[in-house]
Amino acid sequence: MRIGMRTSMRALRYAAAGFLLLCTSQNPAQANYILTPKQSLTGASSATVTPGGNVAIDFILSSNAAPGVDRHISSIFQVNFTAPGLLETTYLYSPDYHTGDTGDDSTPNVAQKGTRARTPTTITAGTFVTPANPGGVDIEFSNNIDPDVGSPFTVGNLVTMTLTVPANWTGPNSVVLSVNPDEFSNGIVGGQLVIVPTTAGPNFTLNIVTPEPGSLSLAGLSLGAILLRRRRRTSAVHGR
């Protein structure tokens, strides 16, 4: 859990790496990013999972600019949940971002970083805390690309997160995920941080279907009846 450290950590990171970021973008971004959560592989804005199941969600960056105009080397955004209790199993950034290294300042994190939550972890109001949203159920993805060894990210799948619904789920039948683009930037030009304006796309809805106890009992009775009929049929064939 981090309280009020996000801004100071960001400023410290830029101060330490300012000389590396200088001139990485001689052509500042001219349009806007749209950040949208979608189900992996299907690209759907919703998914249905039973308790004990999991879902992979991609966070897609799209742009209304010409190819290559919108690009960045630093990204910070939060994911808000309408209910606590889901398990963040893991996440994976796309190149040239790296997952779990010194540039990855996400919370929870796949690596052990101080006292912050580490995946896999149950998402609650205490997983990630900021003064701007102290009671919110949210997590943060924060990372930057080292321009000495990587190229700016343009558009596409920025990061994939895997969520698991606990087998003993007692929460609501649906949980809505929304994104809050905090800061996407592309280095420092003329002493100014080049911000790429970013807006949130449509929300993602995770529908959680818990089988009714009655339906499980009926399924068990049906299976029992099928097995009994097979046993009787086998006995008749063998004269028993």
Asked if the model's pLDDT at residue 15 lies above 80, the reply is no
pTM above 0.75, yes or no: yes
The residue range of the domain holding 51 is 6-209
Q: Taking Cα atoms as reference points, which of 91, 92, 56 lies closest to residue 206? A: 56
At 202, list the tokens. Answer: 């449509």
Does residue 132 have a pLDDT over 90?
no
Q: Are 206 and 177 in contact (CB under 8 A)?
A: yes
Per the listing, tokens 């929304």 go with 178
Domain membership of residue 106 (yes or no) is: yes
Whether residues 193 and 84 share a domain: the answer is yes
DSSP string for residues in 78-103: EEEESSS--EEEEEEEPTTS-SSSTT
Q: Decide if 138 contacts 110 (C-beta within 8 A).
A: no
Domains of the chain: total = 2
Burial of 168 (0-12, 13-18, 19+ CB in 10 A): exposed
Inform me whether the pLDDT recorded for 119 exceeds 60. Answer: yes
Q: Is 1 domain-assigned?
A: no
Q: In angstroms, rounded to a whole number, what is the distance separating the alpha carbons of residues 57 and 195?
A: 26
Q: Which of the four pLDDT bands, split at 50, 70 and 90, describes residue 229?
A: low
Is residue 84 a contact partner of residue 172, using CB atoms and an 8 Å limit? Answer: no
Q: How far apart are CA 177 and CA 207, in angstroms?
A: 11
One domain, residues 223 and 108: no
Residue 232, helix vs strand vs coil: helix
Position of tokens 């099928």? 226
Same structural domain, 103 and 220: no
Q: Averaged over 115-126, what is the pLDDT?
A: 96
**Phi, psi (5° rounding) for residue 216?**
-65, -40
Strands (E), the chain: 33-39, 46-49, 54-63, 74-81, 87-93, 121-122, 137-144, 156-164, 174-189, 192-195, 198-200, 204-208
Residue 147 counted as domain residue:
yes
- Does the residue 58 lie in any domain? yes
pLDDT in tens, 162-193: 999 999 999 999 999 999 999 999 999 899 99
Asked if residue 135 has pLDDT above 60, the reply is yes
| Burial label, 80 (beta-carbon count in 10 A; 0-12, 13-18, 19+) | middle
Q: CATH number for the domain including 102? A: 2.60.40.680
Q: Do 239 and 200 share a structural domain? A: no
Return d(Cα 127, Cα 111) in angstroms, integer: 15
